Amino acid sequence: MRQQNQHLKHLPSLWTRSYLASTAGHISSETIKRYVEEQKIRG
């Protein structure tokens, strides 16, 4: 993946230990957006 996307080379890892599990019917799109934004802050 790093060979095809040069901008990823500076990242120490492509994966994080965090995850969010829920069914689409039981979570709002606002909750998903908030989760994604919080992950950006955590780095």
For residue range 1-43, what is the model confidence (pLDDT) as tens digits?
Answer: 778 888 888 877 777 777 767 666 778 889 888 888 888 776 5
How does DSSP assign the chain, residue by residue? Answer: -TTT-GGGTT-S-S--S------GGGS-HHHHHHHHHHHHHH-
Tell me the C-alpha to C-alpha distance, in Å, between residue 10 and each of 3, 7, 24.
12, 7, 33
- The model's pTM is 0.40
Residue 42 pLDDT: 64
